[in-house]
Structure 1
């Protein structure tokens, strides 16, 4: 091949490589993708009367609020890998925080796919799961805050552990960490600190994000941020606790319970009971503990909201906002004492319904809210559509990009979630009115429990209607629909 021909081929290759970077007369939009751990839709833009979330609310005034967005499993790792792969947990092969991802070895994850299409991709914080980000997804090494694992322990808990370790060493114990219970290691489930925002991990994530935005190369970027709060323990600087008067926060009815649910459906708030001090091992939580947990959760939300605000301000100051799609998503919801439940790890609405706010520079429905049912597994194809990147063929979720122009559309008539309990898997179908949950043996498909909730009359899902004679036809139809949506999981009755 002559030098001239080689030069022409190189020139054509460069042109083709950058064709995805523009469409029409518009430059390819950037993507700021923000994941927030355990962020239920408890924000001002979701009509909460007491939460202070001015920065997310300000984005919502320009973007679209998804009032009925559902995760595919209310647990960190499976939810995030479902979203990032565009596959449901059963197809991804990830159902717990202990599962690895061999099933996804050949699956392009969301940021990696954008990287393949010309984007400069940077990841900061908890995007997939702690310490296991996929290096090939990023254009430069993914970064986590220093000592981020300490964020899952309060400082008081850490000091107690250090004291116990010193005592153990003095007594000649070889492994001074051995034998210290997890709830001692982590301390109380909430903590207020007189510290600057960036003395905690989320402030450091915001600092890093701002530095990265200032030095981004002049090409489309995908910046993924993963904030750790409001995940337990609920730790935030004192000033965010001061945003709230505890006497004006919701009261929790610690005696409330579900009526007629299978034992598989709920849990014993084990994340709190097993891992943190001051939480009773059994029975109802005291009113004071309920109040402090609510207060700590909201303080953590306001703290993260402030860090998101700092990043969005930098986006504006750097002249990037007018061409940047912004996504703010919770990886799942979080039960805050509803019907005696604290935490995630269920198929109930309080755990599976999550926060989702999207702004796109060319959207037509800015400042609106949609009640269309959408799934987080649909975020991958949605971002492909919004950036005019072709969708890969493996995706199982539906794009809901059209809602940003017309929020009245119905993208799907259901949302599917699931949660495992040992040998059993509970799969849920949420429609406009009902939620049906079927619990089946994972090995045989044998039905071992069923739940039906009527959201028109029971939005808190307190009463299981699976024995209602009048609703047996509804149950059969929903069961058939559940198997239709997940045909590879089809089982008998």
Structure 2
């Protein structure tokens, strides 16, 4: 009986695959897609005398710059010059201490807890919460500005050892919004120019692909940032027909810290000063705040005596970034646009260099959330002014709208900084909020002029008084004399976290009397394990129709469920359709030997009850068949839920380093759970593949 059922479902799967050319085998229709209108004020043409905007954003730049006093050996004459030109905000903070959620929040004007965007691998463009809400450059373009950009604006990366356009945590394209720009450098659909020296050189001996530093024999103008800045200076030298919004995205001082030799040479290693730390700094913080110690990076740095070397490399990268800022300022000051251009300079978040035994980004302490912020607005700001009020990058969107005379979109969460720009003595009562984590695992920091309050998802707390403790060495949480302060700050914590994805109730589901169930998904869908399709001891078929572009989708994951221990992924490997199934250390990847051609593609896959798998796609001359690492369907439900168009998931990064979210249009994504059977179907016929 078992064999009859198994053969039945394998043959049925083969018929479904053949249906790629014969039409749909199942009588289910795709849901109608409704495009929501943008929530923007009525479009108006920017006036000829409307101010231009030059928006300069560095990457991973903390407060170690001259005018902020964060490190005594910082050499940033150009950033300091810019700070004297207008208002410098001494107490500015990001909304999330990671690249993608921070930039998404800043550029949409929507807080992470209101958008649901919380990870570097989460494609903000598929967030259900952001549909119809224009980004900052997109909005200025809608309002009649010419928008131009060079370098990293939205989340992107260096592209790994191959300098890939996509893959390696986003690649050089990253989560680019093509609709935001009239002019794009280095080209349409690309954010970061190819690095002359790719990451992974292992100069420091740690053999961590993204955590490396060293000198490179490359002229500054030939680096990725150098190319961006040369383009930007040429753009600024030209008189534009309309007001422009120019964004200059600098990749430094993001790791790897590969900068030209002269920036290292000016700081002998023996003279480098380490950040000031307290030996028992972590003794009074909650256990959850120290979870990162399990990674052991600080111990590696100490054992290899690399701390001073890393500080030197970061300082060198800051000075290199400063030189790039200087070139932009020089070009603007000698251009016909000098007198009528608003300048904004900032970074996406801070960075740790061994403070609290932490490295990289993340966390909710001052070093991770504190960012430089300078605004120069002709006719509004006075030279060499500063504010110590707590402000957030979320405030930039409404600020730029007000400075340019544009009405503000209804969707913005931030508050305009213009009152502070006009009068540095203005007192602000709204604190700056930073989140880490998401949903019920979200933790928050509340920063005012004096206090930092942190509440973790498990309820544990920290409280620091910046008047007496700028290093945040003494946790005051729980002290009776500060109960009122702590309560007041805790009241600022957001009460809910909105999911960026549709709920399971919003997903179209069709069912038939025999127990067959079909789900119709769309890009960005993420379901919890409990809400995902029930694949326990069930055969299932997946059909996907999508627009395929080899330049951006060659290593995309279409749909996945579960994780590296138990789960599956329907994905592409260098343009080859593939189906991967994991089971307790065993892994089977079914991959076509043929590559897909550009255009509309239909892929069909089946995991059957006899352990067989099949895969077929438009343009392939033959179907691909193989076996899962089990028979009888998934022996238990995966611990992680279903995701559409997300990267990695069940695909281990070490085996699939170029896994990237699907960057394109889905026409149909249907997952059908075939009727279950009651007999014991498991037999030792499946062929496990490691």
Shorter chain as normaliser: what TM range?
0.7 to 0.9
8 A Cα contact 1:452 1:475, kept in partner: yes
- Counterpart of 2:50? 28
Distance change >3 Å, CA 469–CA 364, structure 1 → 2? closer
Tell me how far 1:214 sits from its aligned partner.
Answer: 3.9
What are the superposed Cα offsets for residues 61-116 of structure 1, whole Å, 9 maximum, x if unpaired?
A: 11111100010111000000000010110112111112122222211000001011
Q: Secondary structure at the match of 1:211?
A: helix
Matched, 1:466 2:466: no
Pick aligned residue for 2:100 from 59, 77, 84 = 77
Matched, 1:128 2:130: no
- Counterpart of 1:448? 459
8 A Cα contact 2:113 2:496, kept in partner: no
8 A Cα contact 1:157 1:187, kept in partner: no
- Counterpart of 1:263? 287
What are the superposed Cα offsets for residues 351-393 of structure 1, whole Å, 9 maximum, x if unpaired?
A: 0011111111223421112111110000000111111111111
- Counterpart of 2:227? 204
Matched, 1:44 2:66: yes
Matched, 1:91 2:114: yes
Correspondence 1:200-279 to 2 at 5 A: 200-215=223-238, 217-252=240-275, 253=277, 255-268=279-292
Distance change >3 Å, CA 78–CA 489, structure 1 → 2? closer
- Counterpart of 1:138? 181
What are the superposed Cα offsets for residues 267-307 of structure 1, whole Å, 9 maximum, x if unpaired?
A: 53789x6xxxxx66x46625841111111011001111111
Matched, 1:402 2:431: no
Correspondence 1:55-454 to 2 at 5 A: 55-101=78-124, 102=127, 103-130=129-156, 131=173, 132-140=175-183, 141=188, 143-148=190-195, 153-155=199-201, 184=207, 186=209, 189-215=212-238, 217-252=240-275, 253=277, 255-268=279-292, 282=299, 285-286=302-303, 288-420=305-437, 424-440=441-457, 447-454=458-465
CA distance in 2, matches of 1:382, 1:305: 25
What are the superposed Cα offsets for residues 293-327 of structure 1, whole Å, 9 maximum, x if unpaired?
A: 11101100111111111122112222222111111
The TM-score normalised by the length of structure 2 is: 0.59
8 A Cα contact 2:264 2:312, kept in partner: yes
Q: Secondary structure at the match of 1:225?
A: strand
Which runs of 5 or more structure 2 residues have no equivalent in the other structure?
Answer: 1-41, 157-172, 499-690
Q: Which structure has the higher relative contact order (CA within 8 Å, separation 6+)?
A: 1
Q: Secondary structure at the match of 1:326?
A: strand
Distance change >3 Å, CA 187–CA 39, structure 1 → 2? closer
8 A Cα contact 1:372 1:408, kept in partner: no
Greater mean deviation of Cα atoms: 319-328 or 183-192: 183-192
Q: Secondary structure at the match of 1:285?
A: helix
Distance change >3 Å, CA 39–CA 93, structure 1 → 2? same
What are the superposed Cα offsets for residues 139-162 of structure 1, whole Å, 9 maximum, x if unpaired?
A: 1335434324965x154569x9xx
Distance change >3 Å, CA 187–CA 120, structure 1 → 2? closer
Q: Larger % of helix: which?
A: 1
Greater mean deviation of Cα atoms: 247-256 or 365-374: 247-256
Distance change >3 Å, CA 315–CA 463, structure 1 → 2? same
Q: Larger % of strand: which?
A: 2
8 A Cα contact 1:89 1:95, kept in partner: yes
Tell me how far 1:249 sits from its aligned partner.
Answer: 3.1
Tell me how far 1:338 sits from its aligned partner.
Answer: 1.4
The TM-score normalised by the length of structure 1 is: 0.81
Which runs of 5 or more structure 1 residues have no equivalent in the other structure?
Answer: 1-15, 161-182, 274-278, 441-446
8 A Cα contact 1:254 1:285, kept in partner: no
8 A Cα contact 1:154 1:191, kept in partner: no
8 A Cα contact 1:259 1:463, kept in partner: no
CA distance in 2, matches of 1:125, 1:331: 14
CA distance in 2, matches of 1:464, 1:255: 15
Q: Secondary structure at the match of 2:460?
A: strand
CA distance in 1, matches of 2:242, 2:111: 32
CA distance in 1, matches of 2:189, 2:247: 10
CA distance in 2, matches of 1:349, 1:439: 15
Greater mean deviation of Cα atoms: 410-419 or 244-253: 244-253
Tell me how far 1:488 sits from its aligned partner.
Answer: 4.9
Structure number with greater Rg is 2
Distance change >3 Å, CA 260–CA 107, structure 1 → 2? same
Greater mean deviation of Cα atoms: 282-291 or 193-202: 282-291
What are the superposed Cα offsets for residues 226-259 of structure 1, whole Å, 9 maximum, x if unpaired?
A: 1111111222111111232444432345844323
- Counterpart of 2:165? none
Q: Secondary structure at the match of 2:313?
A: helix
Q: Secondary structure at the match of 1:58?
A: helix
Tell me how far 1:346 sits from its aligned partner.
Answer: 0.4
CA distance in 2, matches of 1:475, 1:33: 36
8 A Cα contact 1:254 1:337, kept in partner: no
Pick aligned residue for 2:77 from 51, 54, 62 = 54
